[in-house]
Amino acid sequence: MKYKKWVHIALAASLLSGVFTPTSFVYAASDVSNVEIEIITLAEIPSLIITGVNGNTHHLKIITTNPPNTDMLIEKSSTPDFSQSNEVFMDWTPITNGHELSVFVGDGESSYLRIKARNLEGIETEFSAPVVLNQAPTMPTLARQVSGTHSISLQLNDVMGATDYKIKRTDLGTDAVFTGKDYTDSSVLPGRPYTYEFWAERSGQQSEKNTISLWTKPEAPALFVTNTSSSSVELEVNLKDNPPNSDIEVQREGGNPQVQGLKITETNLLASKSYEYRVRVKSDNNEFSPWVTQTVTTGENTSSLPSSGGGSNDPSTQVNLSDVQISYDENGKLRIIGIDEKAEYKYYAIITDSNGNQIKSPVFNTLKELEEWLQKNLVPGQKYKILIGIEVDKNKRLEKTIDYTVPLDPNKADSALNNIKIKADGEPNTRTSWVEFDLAAIPTTVEITLNGQSKKAKGTVLRFEHLDDNKTYTADLRVYDNNTDKAASQQLEVHTPNRTAPEILDASYHQGEIVLDVVSVNGLRQD
C-alpha cells in the first residue's frame, strides 16, 4: 500500500545537465545525498470464511494480508453471479484482518457475499470468490393424511426454498427414506400404529423434523362354520392381518353367542333353523372394522349318517366324519378318505382361504365329482379350511371342517418359489453387499443355501450378509411340504449391485483434455 524508501541522488554535474551515462555515474558516485520518497502498492484481494451458524444468523470472518484499516466493500446477492437482488451489504469501511460480521438469511434462502479492497489511491481490487450462505427451510406440515387397512398416505405442504422433501417410517432403517411430497406406505398391517418423520432440505441443509403417529384401520375378519348340530353351532374367526390380540365382537339377533379366543359357540338352538351371525374386530385405538356375516343352519342330526341310502340305523353301516381326511395319491389325485364312495348321498364343500374368501361347490351326486372340484380349486402350497358336507335329504346332513395345506408338486416348484421376493443392496464404498429373501407369501418352510450359508424359515425374511458387491451368486432353494417330508428344489442366480466407486490411479493432461486412468471394483481398467 504505502511505505518509505531511501534512494541515492548523485550530485554530479552530469546529472544537473540532464546527461546520464555509465561513465558519469561512476565519477559522481562519491558525491551523493539521501532522499525519502513514498511508494503506494496495489491492495490484495481479501476473502470471507464462515465461522458458524446460529439459527438464521451466519457468522463470518474477513481474512486479508493488507495493512490494518484497509478500506473494503462487501456485496450481497441472491444469485451466485450477482445478477439479481444485488446490494451493498457493507460500504467502504476500514477493515483489519480477522474482522468478524454476521449475516441474517431467511428460511429456505441462499445469500452470496463477495468482498474487495482498495488502496490509498482509490485503486480497487477484483471481487473475491463468492461465499454462499444456505439456510435450512422451515419444518413442513401435513396437507393430507389417509389411513387404510394396508396403506398410509401422506402429502406434505410446500415449504419456501425447499428443493427436496424426505419421509421416513421410524421403525425402518435408513434405506427406507422416501424422497417427495406424496408418499404411500403399502407395507403396513391393519390395526397398528406407525410413526413417520418428515422434513425439507435445501442445498444439504435439513429443516427440523416433524413427526406424526397414525393408526391403520382394522381389517374386516373372516367368519366360517367349523361345526353344527341340531341344537348348537360353532364358528371360527380368521383375524386375517389384524393383531392377534384384537378384540372380537359377535352378535346374533335375539341370541347370546359366546366368544373364547377365536371360537364362537352358541347352544340351545332349534333344529333345522337358519341363524345369522355377524362379527367385527376392535383395534387398540378403539376403532372397529366393518361387520361380516355368516348364516348357519342347524341340522336334524349332525353326529352320524347311514353309510348308504335307505336310512339304516345299524351301527355297522354308520359313517363318522371325524375319520374323514383329504390326501393325494401317488398319481397326484385328490382323495377324500373315510367316506364310502359307493354311498348314495349328496356331496358338497366350502373352501375358505387364508384371507377369508370362500368358494362354495355345487351339490354333487358322487364323491368323485366333489374330489375333482376340490382339486381344480385348490392351489398347491396354500392353506385352507375345507368344509366337507354330506346331505341325505333337506333335513339331514353331516359336516366337518378340515385345516389343510395343499402339498406342493415336487416337479412344479415354481408355483411357490415364484412368490419369493428378492432384494439385493449394499453400503456404498464398502465392497460388501447383502441379499434378502422375503418368504411372507410362502405358507411352508423354505431352506436357502447361498455362499456356503444355509438358513431355514417360514413366513419371514432370510438375510445373507458379507457378500461381494457386483457379483453373481447361485442360490439353492428348497420348499418343504407341510403334509409330507418332500421338498421342491430350484436354483436361481442373484446378482449383487455395484456400490463401490471406481478408483483413480493416475491423471494427466493431453492435448487440452484431462485423461484419467481408473480401475473399477471388478478390476477392469479404463482410460
Residue, of 176 and 511, whose pLDDT is higher: 176
Indicate if the pLDDT at residue 114 is higher than 80: yes
Determine the Cα–Cα distance for residues 342 and 345; give it in Å rounded to an integer. 9
**pTM to 2 decimal places:** 0.52
Mean pLDDT of the chain: 81
Percent of the chain with pLDDT over 90: 39
Predicted pLDDT of residue 306 = 40
344 shares a domain with 326: yes
Buried b (16+ CB within 10 A) or exposed e, 281-292: bbbeeeeebeeb
- Cα distances (angstroms) measured from residue 223 to each of 40, 293, 355: 98, 7, 10
Determine the Cα–Cα distance for residues 5 and 35; give it in Å rounded to an integer. 8
397 shares a domain with 358: yes
Percent of the chain with pLDDT over 70: 78
Predicted pLDDT of residue 346 = 87
Biggest CA–CA distance in the chain, Å, is 160
Range of the domain at 30: 2-40
Indicate if the pLDDT at residue 69 is higher than 90: yes
Predicted pLDDT of residue 520 = 56
311 shares a domain with 328: yes
* pLDDT bracket for residue 481 (50, 70, 90): low
Determine the Cα–Cα distance for residues 387 and 456; give it in Å rounded to an integer. 32
* pLDDT bracket for residue 284 (50, 70, 90): very high
315 shares a domain with 255: yes
Residue, of 201 and 502, whose pLDDT is higher: 201
Determine the Cα–Cα distance for residues 112 and 107; give it in Å rounded to an integer. 15
Over residues 303-324, the mean pLDDT reads 48
Indicate if the pLDDT at residue 19 is higher than 70: no
Beta-sheet pairing, 472-480 with 446-450: antiparallel
Residue 466's Cβ-count burial label (10 Å; 0-12, 13-18, 19+) is exposed
CB 66 within 8 A of CB 1: yes
Over residues 89-96, the mean pLDDT reads 95
Determine the Cα–Cα distance for residues 86 and 408; give it in Å rounded to an integer. 74
148 shares a domain with 35: no
Q: Hey, what's the cell of 232?
A: 348348537
Indicate if the pLDDT at residue 7 is higher than 80: no
In tens, the pLDDT along 160-182 reads 889 999 999 998 876 678 889 99
Where helices occur in 284-426 by DSSP H, the ranges are: 367-377, 414-417
Residue 374 main-chain phi, psi, to 5 deg: -60, -45
Indicate if the pLDDT at residue 85 is higher than 80: no
Picking from 180, 179, 177, 175, the residue whose alpha carbon sits closest to that of residue 196 is 177
* pLDDT bracket for residue 157 (50, 70, 90): very high
In tens, the pLDDT along 23-35 reads 333 444 445 555 5
228 shares a domain with 326: yes
Picking from 116, 99, 119, 152, the residue whose alpha carbon sits closest to that of residue 41 is 119
* pLDDT bracket for residue 126 (50, 70, 90): very high
Over residues 11-26, the mean pLDDT reads 38
Residue 429's Cβ-count burial label (10 Å; 0-12, 13-18, 19+) is exposed
Predicted pLDDT of residue 226 = 81
186 shares a domain with 130: no
Q: Hey, what's the cell of 171?
A: 421403525
Predicted pLDDT of residue 77 = 92
Residue 46's Cβ-count burial label (10 Å; 0-12, 13-18, 19+) is buried
Residue, of 85 and 389, whose pLDDT is higher: 389
* pLDDT bracket for residue 480 (50, 70, 90): confident
* pLDDT bracket for residue 280 (50, 70, 90): very high
Determine the Cα–Cα distance for residues 24 and 8; give it in Å rounded to an integer. 15
State how many domains the chain has: 5
Domain final residue pick, 102, 134, 166: 134
Over residues 107-124, the mean pLDDT reads 91
Predicted pLDDT of residue 37 = 60
Indicate if the pLDDT at residue 197 is higher than 60: yes
14 shares a domain with 69: no
Domain final residue pick, 171, 190, 215: 215
Indicate if the pLDDT at residue 131 is higher than 60: yes
53 shares a domain with 30: no
Q: State the CB neighbour count (10 A cutoff) for residue 505.
A: 10
Indicate if the pLDDT at residue 4 is higher than 50: no
514 shares a domain with 476: yes
Q: Which of 243-257, 296-310, 334-348, 392-406 has the highest mean pLDDT?
A: 243-257
398 shares a domain with 341: yes
Residue, of 276 and 394, whose pLDDT is higher: 276
Residue, of 275 and 341, whose pLDDT is higher: 275
99 shares a domain with 233: no
Indicate if the pLDDT at residue 432 is higher than 90: no
What CATH number is attached to the domain comprising 475?
Answer: 2.60.40.10
Domain final residue pick, 215, 248, 274: 215
16: enclosing H helix or E strand:
helix 13-16
CB 512 within 8 A of CB 437: no
Predicted pLDDT of residue 291 = 95
Determine the Cα–Cα distance for residues 314 and 306; give it in Å rounded to an integer. 8
Determine the Cα–Cα distance for residues 403 and 384; give it in Å rounded to an integer. 6
Q: Hey, what's the cell of 499?
A: 456400490
CB 79 within 8 A of CB 115: no
Picking from 342, 432, 353, 428, the residue whose alpha carbon sits closest to that of residue 385 is 353
C-alpha radius of gyration, the chain, whole number: 43
Of 34-43, 75-84, 146-155, 223-232, minimum mean pLDDT range: 34-43
Predicted pLDDT of residue 411 = 46
Of 6-15, 185-194, 492-501, minimum mean pLDDT range: 6-15
* pLDDT bracket for residue 396 (50, 70, 90): low
